[in-house]
Structure 1
Amino acid sequence: MGGVRTVEQRWEQFHRHGPNALLGIGALMAALSADLIGMSGADRYTTAGLLVAASALQLWWGRARSRAPARGTAARSYYVLRTLIAFALCWYNPFFSVFAISGYFDIVELVPGRFVRAGLFCTAVTMAGSQSGSGMPPASLTNWAAFGALLVLHFSLALLFGNISARETERTERQTATITELERANNRLEQALSENAALHAQLLLQAREAGVADERRRLAAEIHDTLAQGLTGIIAQLQAVTSTEDPAQAREHLDRAAGLARHSLGEARRSVHDLVPAALVHDDLPGALKKTVTGWAERTGVRADLTVTGTVEPLHDEVGATLLRIAEEALANTARHAGAARAGVTLSYMGDEVTLDIRDDGCGFDPAALPPRSGTGGFGLGGMRARAERIAGTAEIETEPGQGTAVSARVPLVRRN
């Protein structure tokens, strides 16, 4: 950007002071050559008058240039008057061509594009006439021939260098526009980076809060699925102890209560450390479900069966734990609310997904009549949906009063590494 401005500033200085300097050099050379070319007294006075006019024109343009629009009326008038004065000066002394040559350099700044060639041609006429050997007008046929050849040469060179200058000016303008646009883009980028930094900090805070909330929900669901169910089972076994007079049965219920307490304690520890359920440590999902269904049937006295279809695949721990917890919650709900005589659990491996269906022949219920917490936001039916959605799955409940209940969970089949 600095280099482009330096070139523009140099051309600006030349356009401002160059014609004045060339006029002074031309006047000095004309004065030194006046006797050599035989200028008469009248020619000298006329030349002096033209010099005064040229100086006044340059003084006026020096003041008006900063206010006059480029290629406007004032600029065109200045160029035409300067070209006419330069032609007249060269008529009396060819050394004034030093001043006339300035018409080649600033014509693009002063004259509209459609008149540039005409202006270049007029300057070429002045330059060719001053260099043809006898001044203006040419004195002989030889001088006319020289004038014609020089005119063609000057006009061709003027067009050539004019095109080069125009392309250079266009290139400079494009470069300046590109650099300006780059500066704007850099400013926008800096602003965007600043906004992104603030947004990044906000997202980090939100991610941390979301992580904390997600961990709280996970622990709450785990506590509900382990401690709450375990305590419910322990209470049921202890109540059975108080309602029987048979010491053997009482001992059996106490043993079951103790076993549930140990199991619940172990599951609570695993939940805190986000470990897989104990049932999946030594068994795959079908084996863990088999033990879960069998144990549940023994505790509740409800007939329950497990059916496995498809080719059994080793599942990722998170997938297996999710399906096992959903099965435990669904069976617990059946024991507490359904009054069922029979329940069935079906595990199906189907290509790229695994489905788990838990059905009972209990009393069923109206889902619309459930409180919001139990229907969507609690750790029962809503908790099963949340668990499935956590691994990009779904959980649906189908039930009607008197028609039993069916829970169906579908999750992606993600294999264990």
Structure 2
Amino acid sequence: MSATVPGEQAWERSYRHLPLALLVVATVAALATGPATDGTSPAWRLAAQLALVAATAACLAWWAYGRPLPTAAASTPFRYVLRTLLAFALTLLNPLFCVFGWIGFADATDTFRGRGVWLAFGATAVVMATGQSGGLPVGSTGHVVLFLALFALNFGLAAAMGRYAIHVERTSEDRASAITELERVNASLEEAIARNDSLQQTVVAQARVAGVQEERQRLSREIHDTIAQSLAAVLAQLQAAAQDPDPRPRIARATELARAALAEARRSVMDLAPVPLTEAALPEALDGIVRGWAADHAARTDLVVTGDVRPLHPEVEATVLRVTQEALANVARHSGAARVGVTLSYDGEEVVLDVRDDGVGFDPEQPAGGSSFGLRGMRARAERLAGTLGVESRPGTGTAVSVRLPALAREAA
């Protein structure tokens, strides 16, 4: 049988000695019992036996030791057939040589496949039945019956053993295939683990870079939306104070704006909520922003709040507040509007902020300039919370900025 698992290798190394060992046993038994059974008489029969034994031993020795050590699976059909013919000839000369003929049962499944195995079993069973019945059946019905019975017995036992051997071989092959597949799967898993480790390190590095970038963007938005606008307002108040007969109100307003800018700067660095939201709810904070803006500009400004007012997630409220500040700053810088309307709508699952003016307007389809950070900042703030920013404007017809954000409850914080 072929070695398919390491445990069978010892048997394979020992198997190469078995044919010669059986030939020796059969020869000793035949020569020792020859005088009593007439198996070595007349003299020509003894000479023929010795000659065939020598020839058979030479072939077996050459196959076993004259080449690199083969396994049983290395047996060729030619060797099997020649050995079986030699065993049959020896058995015809002396029935006890069927002991050597038994070797044909041992390696038939390794030498042949399919029907060839059963033909090999049949040939070996003929050798065994010939020896066990005392020779070929010639002329005697009883001898023929005995020969056929012995043939059937030997062939049946060989068939049962052969089926078991084939089953064991297939099981060993399946086991070897399963081991190979498991090794392949383990190698794939190790490779996947290595890739995952590398990917995790890449993700961590990218997350670190993204966090740094996000923090930079947050600070830039906070500086633009609060400090820069407050400083611009301070500058405007100081410039107006230089031309005002009584500059004290202007200076007081500039001082108030500078203090507010300082507070916002500190809160931006600490990533806290905007000052107005720490002191009031969103509608009241917006009202304070609108009133303060209106006090510094000539445009009439109105705030309208609709819907069921309720506390929202701090990020949502901060975004609404910052977008309002930026939209009003854009009105002051670009529109020259006489009237501005701010509407805050609590609309079911959304909160909507609209800032409209009747200023000069612009063409939204035109490429934005490099300094147009305002719209980009408002859009970035909205998208950060899965919201949207819409801008409607035409030259001479004013501008409407609308922001829609998910109305996340404060409990989600």
TM-score of the superposition, structure 1-length normalised?
0.89
Cα distance change, pair 173–68 in 1 and its aligned pair in 2 (3 A): closer
- What CA distance in whole angstroms lies between the structure 2 residues aligned with 1:98 and 1:65? 27
- Partner of 1:122 in structure 2? 123
CA offset digits 1:36-70 (Å, max 9, x no partner): 32211222222222222322332343356879996
Cα distance change, pair 352–166 in 1 and its aligned pair in 2 (3 A): farther
- Partner of 1:223 in structure 2? 223
Q: Give the deviation of 1:18 after TM superposition.
A: 2.5
Question: Quick check: 329-338 or 93-102, which moved more?
Answer: 93-102
The partner residue of 1:390 within 363, 384, 401 is 384
- Partner of 1:293 in structure 2? 290
Question: Quick check: 396-405 or 334-343, which moved more?
Answer: 396-405
Contact kept in structure 1, 2:312 and 2:408, CA below 8 Å = yes
Contact kept in structure 2, 1:346 and 1:357, CA below 8 Å = yes
The partner residue of 2:277 within 276, 280, 290 is 280
Contact kept in structure 1, 2:72 and 2:110, CA below 8 Å = no
- What CA distance in whole angstroms lies between the structure 2 residues aligned with 1:227 and 1:295? 15
Contact kept in structure 1, 2:15 and 2:72, CA below 8 Å = no
Q: Which amino acid is 1:50 matched to?
A: L
Matched, 1:86 2:87: yes
- What CA distance in whole angstroms lies between the structure 2 residues aligned with 1:109 and 1:211? 68
Name the SS of the counterpart of 1:373 in structure 2: coil
- Partner of 1:381 in structure 2? 375
The partner residue of 1:310 within 307, 310, 334 is 307
Q: Which amino acid is 2:220 matched to?
A: A
CA offset digits 1:234-266 (Å, max 9, x no partner): 111112211211x3xx32222221221121111
- What CA distance in whole angstroms lies between the structure 1 residues aligned with 2:249 and 2:172? 98
RMSD: 2.6
Cα distance change, pair 56–268 in 1 and its aligned pair in 2 (3 A): same
Contact kept in structure 2, 1:79 and 1:111, CA below 8 Å = no
- Partner of 2:342 in structure 1? 345
- Partner of 2:76 in structure 1? 75
CA offset digits 1:75-109 (Å, max 9, x no partner): 11111111121222222333323322221221122
Q: Give the deviation of 1:390 after TM superposition.
A: 1.5
CA offset digits 1:318-366 (Å, max 9, x no partner): 1211121111111111111111111222223333332222111111112
Contact kept in structure 2, 1:69 and 1:75, CA below 8 Å = no
Q: Give the deviation of 1:229 after TM superposition.
A: 0.8
- What CA distance in whole angstroms lies between the structure 2 residues aligned with 1:394 and 1:401? 23
Question: Quick check: 194-203 or 116-125, which moved more?
Answer: 194-203
Q: Which amino acid is 2:383 matched to?
A: E
Q: Give the deviation of 1:303 after TM superposition.
A: 1.8
Q: Give the deviation of 1:394 after TM superposition.
A: 2.1
- What CA distance in whole angstroms lies between the structure 1 residues aligned with 2:78 and 2:45? 26
Question: Quick check: 274-283 or 305-314, which moved more?
Answer: 305-314
- Partner of 1:251 in structure 2? 248
- Partner of 2:235 in structure 1? 235
- What CA distance in whole angstroms lies between the structure 2 residues aligned with 1:17 and 1:359? 104
Name the SS of the counterpart of 1:275 in structure 2: coil
Cα distance change, pair 409–96 in 1 and its aligned pair in 2 (3 A): farther
Cα distance change, pair 77–255 in 1 and its aligned pair in 2 (3 A): same
Cα distance change, pair 111–369 in 1 and its aligned pair in 2 (3 A): same
Q: Give the deviation of 1:371 after TM superposition.
A: 4.2
Question: Quick check: 194-203 or 220-229, which moved more?
Answer: 194-203
Contact kept in structure 2, 1:91 and 1:137, CA below 8 Å = no
Contact kept in structure 1, 2:358 and 2:399, CA below 8 Å = yes
Q: Give the deviation of 1:226 after TM superposition.
A: 1.1
- What CA distance in whole angstroms lies between the structure 2 residues aligned with 1:59 and 1:360? 110
- Partner of 1:186 in structure 2? 186
- Partner of 1:260 in structure 2? 257
Contact kept in structure 2, 1:90 and 1:136, CA below 8 Å = no
Q: Give the deviation of 1:4 after TM superposition.
A: 6.2
Give the % identical residues. Answer: 47
**Residues paired across the two proteins, number:** 406
Question: Quick check: 145-154 or 60-69, which moved more?
Answer: 60-69
Q: Give the deviation of 1:370 after TM superposition.
A: 4.5
Matched, 1:408 2:402: yes
Cα distance change, pair 313–59 in 1 and its aligned pair in 2 (3 A): farther
- Partner of 1:57 in structure 2? 59
Q: Give the deviation of 1:205 after TM superposition.
A: 2.0
- What CA distance in whole angstroms lies between the structure 1 residues aligned with 2:96 and 2:347? 102
Flag structure 2 segments of 5+ consecutive residues without an equivalent: none
Cα distance change, pair 372–65 in 1 and its aligned pair in 2 (3 A): farther
Q: Give the deviation of 1:395 after TM superposition.
A: 1.6
Matched, 1:152 2:152: yes
CA offset digits 1:168-222 (Å, max 9, x no partner): 2112112112212222232233333333333332332222122111111111111
Q: Give the deviation of 1:384 after TM superposition.
A: 0.9
Cα distance change, pair 57–329 in 1 and its aligned pair in 2 (3 A): same
TM-score of the superposition, structure 2-length normalised?
0.90
- Partner of 1:330 in structure 2? 327
